[in-house]
Amino acid sequence: MSKLTTYIAFLLVFCSVTASGQSVIWNFESMQKSRSMSSEAAKLLIRDADKELSRNILTVVDKPMTPPSGNKHDYMSMGRYWWPNPDTKDGLPYIRKDGVSNPEIEKLDRLPLAQMTRGVKLLAMAFYLTKDDKYATKAVDHLRKWFLDKKTRMNPHLNYGQTVPGHNDGMGRGFGIIDTYSFIEMLEGVELLKSSKRFTKKDQQGLQEWFTAYLDWMLTSPIGKEEYEAPNNHGTAFDVQVVRFALFVGKQDVAKKYLDDFPARRLFSQIKPDGSQPLELARTTAFGYSVFNLDHILDMCYMAKSLGVDLYNATSSDGRNITKAMEFLLPYAGKTVQDFPYQQIRDWNRVQQDYALLLYRADNLNKSTLYKKYYENYVKQSVKNINLIIY
């Protein structure tokens, strides 16, 4: 029995991690240090949370279009890289331009969902830092509107996630499930809200019922099964969501299965012995997608660590592991896009910062300073970045 499998056997012992109001991804030690309110990052977070206090979020029933089901409570979004066909009068069927986002995606539910989850995250952290219930009250209001209120709640499925006009009779695709990845950090925020009287047992029960139904849809629907079979970052993101949602609703057997399968099914199949991720490098934003996938992988590592599982050091017989994948990108850290031998058609500076944060997270996870020289300038320049509070 491998060391990883041995640790997995203890999963049930640690299953109370979310029930006790603890984070499984965020770094509580770092957050406690920021509680003094002396850090620039904390001040910025409070400023942003104050803006959230006056925000009235849009819900799924507010979108201008109605899904084919005829029910506005059904979430609906459009594929990011799909554009009107220039060769047809009606623009159908849409054609794909990898790496080029169509602004039409902002017309449906994807942006409101992202704004809601970001709002809950900011407000929950502000409540944790200040113990001021005004932040918890607003965060709970967001949660109730999106998940619990019968007039505004989202139905727990993504049957119309990342639809593409002119394709699949208006139905969604497995790719759409990545739209709910931000629920992961939102649930981290929920853990912080549990210490507030504003967040009730009824709220907790309602959220658990919603996520139980959503998890069941992910695991049993054709769309969910399609995403489960995705061999790239989509498959990784699917597994991370399954584990986080399973922990939230108390389905430890599901979390155990997906954690146990993760090294062979995701790490060793996507990472080559030299550390490259071929399916991400094939994209027009290859550096960005390589970092994107590794960020999901680190989320899984943090969850595993909270359960006593060392996933980060899992290594195949031919040497495939996360360290190799992290370090495959190191020669291009701080370099220009021209130095990168693959395509990165946009956002080079941003993905360099994302990579620096990834290295910072890896060092925090492993209690090391292995990559410090690669991210220390980023940390100094980004002292106001709220990610430095939660990681």
In which domain, by residue range, is 137 found? 26-249
Specify whether 349 is located in the same domain as 213. no
Number of domains in the chain: 2
Q: Give the DSSP per-residue string, 156-178.
A: S--TEEEE-TTSGGG---GGGGG
Residue 263 in domain: no
pLDDT for res 39: 72
Are 4 and 98 in a shared domain? no
Report whether 108 contacts 76 (CB < 8 A). Answer: yes
Q: Are residues 305 and 276 in the same domain?
A: yes
pLDDT in tens, 367-382: 999 999 999 877 766 6
Residue 259 lies in a domain: no
Give the integer Cα–Cα distance in Å for 185 and 274.
31
Task: Give the pLDDT confidence score for residue 267 in this predicted structure.
Answer: 98
Three-state SS for 289-329 is: HHHHHHHHHHHHHHHHHHCCCCCCCCCCCCCCCHHHHHHHC
Same domain, yes or no, for 7 and 152?
no
- Coil, strand or helix at 77: strand
pLDDT in tens, 73-113: 999 999 999 999 999 999 999 999 999 999 998 889 999 99
pTM assigned to the model = 0.92
Nearest by Cα to 205 from 266, 118, 147 = 147
Domain-embedded: residue 230: yes
Identify the band that residue 179 occupies on the pLDDT scale cut at 50, 70 and 90.
very high
- 256 is a domain residue: no
What gap in Å lies between CA 12 and CA 307, rounded to an integer?
9
Work out the number of other CB atoms within 10 angstroms of the CB of residue 112: 20
Instruction: For residue 386, give the CATH number of its domain.
Output: 1.50.10.100
In a domain, residue 184? The reply is yes
- pLDDT tens readout for residues 276-330: 999 999 999 999 999 999 999 999 999 999 999 999 999 999 999 999 999 999 9
Does 232 share its domain with 98? yes
Is residue 16 scored above 50 in pLDDT? no
Interval 26-43 mean pLDDT: 74
**Is pLDDT larger for residue 198 or for residue 391?**
198
Domain shared by 168 and 240, yes or no: yes
